[in-house]
Structure 1
Amino acid sequence: MIPLTIPQLVDRASTHPFLGEHLRMGTGIRADEAVARFDNVEIGSSYEPIFDITVHALAQSLSSAPESADRFGDELGFQAITQQLDGTESDTFDPFEQVADDQQLVALDRMSRAMHAINFFGPQRHGLLFLRVHERLLKSVRYDHGRHFSTVLMSFGLNPSRIVIELPPAAVAHRTFLGYLTKSYQHYGFKVAGNLPNAGQILSVSDMARLDFIKMDAPSALRDSMVKPLVGYANRLKIPLIFNRVTTEAQFDLLQQYDVRFVQGPLFVVHENRLA
């Protein structure tokens, strides 16, 4: 089957009773992308890479002149970030914080995830697409988490197995709920990542849920001297551990000392932009 382009995916979304009302092709610098409008706010997609730093080329690219680096290492995938398109895009924008009604929250979440998937798969990006799920959404949808989104993706001809549903720390902190959510999303074809609320929470991960990925805040782990124990325990679980929010080269250098494999954060976006 020939993969659909972004315009073709947006056209297919136009037949959907909800997505067709909100999704469209952008204009100006966003003319080749899907954008969405919800409650007078226009949003778009950006993507933060998740890198495998065991690839030698990455270490070289951070220490060498950017123009001399042939490639920036291997990407495990990309974290989708929702941006408000008001002329001053910001990675910190969170449209979900503006929505008080739970049903509107569900609608906004479904719309933004569909938009991110279209903008990711349309250009035939490689790797995995990581999509955050808001804590309130998990409480608003009572059962069959992942069923609706899986159905939408398959109607677009897209594969749910290349999408990682990223659960918030509050969900990971509740072992029974975490187990239910993980099994439900995996049942509908998705992979699942859990954001640890703290380093100690990794001890309960394997009891109730077999996560596909674990994510941990790098500055917190470094501050608490927990990188080495986290790496060791994750290796015993055989679950890939991603350290995110890496902002400085000093943090990156420290992580390398503990055989960290996957990293994500503003530092790598800066270097990627230099290499573009």
Structure 2
Amino acid sequence: MIPPTIPELVSRAAEHPFLGEHVEMGTGEQHDHAIARLDDLVIISRYEPIFDISVHALAQSLSTAPGSVDRFGDELGVQAVTQRIDSTPFDPFDEIDDAPELVAIDRMSRALHAINFFGAQRHGLLFLRVHERLLKSVKYDHGKHFSSVLISFGLNPARVVIELPSAAVAHRTFLGYLTKSYQRYGFKVAGNLQNAGQILAVSDTRLDFIKMDAGTALREATVKPLVGYAGRLKIPLIFDHVTDENQFDLLQQYDVRFVQGPLFETHDRAV
């Protein structure tokens, strides 16, 4: 089966009662990609790569190919980031208080990222963050609506990772419920740790991934125990917000496998 292109997915979105009003093909620099509009707001997709550095050639120095993404390893997938049309950051939770408008922007942006990801025939997984306020605004069946949208577009929810905030991870019962709900509707689930101790809260869950801030883990000297404990849990651990080559070199000393952050971004990550 031939995967749908971005224009084909935008056409399918046009038949959706909500997305049809907001998602369209871009123009100018965005002519090959979908954009989304809500009143005066126009948003686009950007993607941060997540690398599996276990396949990185250990004998190769980072300095040997400073402009090459291939020097880091293979991509596990990408993290979707919402930006304004002028490429400036956009976080609706910092700017909007109205709950229905937040829900609308969230649904619009998730669909936009999925269209640009799947329509471009990208490989790997699509990581999508979910804000704590939205988790609390939905009473039950988390993931049901988005899963139905993806399936109606002919897209596979199993290639989407719903990323839960650390506030949700801190509450073991809530975390367990959310994980089961999203997985029931076909998604994978990642949990963000605020600190190393939070990994104890995920020991009896079935998370597909754990994420931890690299700077915090290195500063608190918890990289090695985190890697070991995650290994015993058999849950892949991603260290994100890797900012420089020194952090990258230190992480490699502890057999870290998955990394993400500004160090690995290149100019062509925006769409």
TM-score (norm 2): 0.95
SS at match of 1:42: strand
Q: What does 1:59-98 correspond to in 2, within 5 Å?
A: 60=60, 62-66=62-66, 72-85=72-85, 87=86, 89-90=87-88, 92-98=89-95
**Residue pair 1:26, 1:33 contacting (<8 A) in 2 also:** yes
Counterpart CA distance in 1 for 2:149 and 2:180 is: 19
Q: Shift of the alpha carbon at 1:63?
A: 2.4
Q: What does 1:227-242 correspond to in 2, within 5 Å?
A: 227-242=223-238
SS at match of 2:203: helix
Give the partner amino acid of 2:43.
I
Give the partner amino acid of 1:22.
H
Q: 1:67 to 1:43 in 2, by over 3 A?
A: closer
SS at match of 1:180: helix
CA deviation map 1:41-60 (0-9, x unaligned): 11000100000111134873
Is the counterpart of residue 260 in structure 1 residue 262 in structure 2?
no
Task: Find the counterpart in structure 2 of residue 47 from structure 1.
Answer: 47
CA deviation map 1:127-175 (0-9, x unaligned): 0000001111101111100000000000000000000000011111111
Task: Find the counterpart in structure 2 of residue 117 from structure 1.
Answer: 114
CA RMSD of aligned residues (A): 1.8
Higher relative contact order (CA 8 A, sep 6+): 2
Is the counterpart of residue 156 in structure 1 residue 180 in structure 2?
no
Counterpart CA distance in 2 for 1:2 and 1:162 is: 17
Q: 1:179 to 1:113 in 2, by over 3 A?
A: same
Q: 1:11 to 1:69 in 2, by over 3 A?
A: closer
Is the counterpart of residue 32 in structure 1 residue 29 in structure 2?
no
Q: What does 1:199-214 correspond to in 2, within 5 Å?
A: 199-207=196-204, 209-214=205-210
CA deviation map 1:10-46 (0-9, x unaligned): 0110011110011111111100000001231110001
Is the counterpart of residue 248 in structure 1 residue 220 in structure 2?
no
Q: 1:130 to 1:59 in 2, by over 3 A?
A: farther
Counterpart CA distance in 2 for 1:34 and 1:114 is: 10
Q: Shift of the alpha carbon at 1:66?
A: 3.8
Counterpart CA distance in 1 for 2:68 and 2:98 is: 51
Counterpart CA distance in 2 for 1:109 and 1:173 is: 23
Query: Number of aligned pairs?
Result: 269
Unaligned regions of 5+ residues in structure 2, if any?
none
Counterpart CA distance in 1 for 2:198 and 2:254 is: 20
Q: 1:231 to 1:8 in 2, by over 3 A?
A: same
Counterpart CA distance in 2 for 1:68 and 1:142 is: 45
Q: Shift of the alpha carbon at 1:204?
A: 1.6
Q: 1:40 to 1:8 in 2, by over 3 A?
A: same
Is the counterpart of residue 18 in structure 1 residue 18 in structure 2?
yes
Q: 1:67 to 1:183 in 2, by over 3 A?
A: closer
Q: Shift of the alpha carbon at 1:203?
A: 1.1
TM-score (norm 1): 0.93
Q: What does 1:82-231 correspond to in 2, within 5 Å?
A: 82-85=82-85, 87=86, 89-90=87-88, 92-207=89-204, 209-231=205-227
Counterpart CA distance in 2 for 1:72 and 1:173 is: 32
**Residue pair 1:96, 1:108 contacting (<8 A) in 2 also:** no
Q: Shift of the alpha carbon at 1:235?
A: 0.2
**Residue pair 1:9, 1:118 contacting (<8 A) in 2 also:** yes
Q: 1:193 to 1:69 in 2, by over 3 A?
A: closer
Unaligned regions of 5+ residues in structure 1, if any?
none
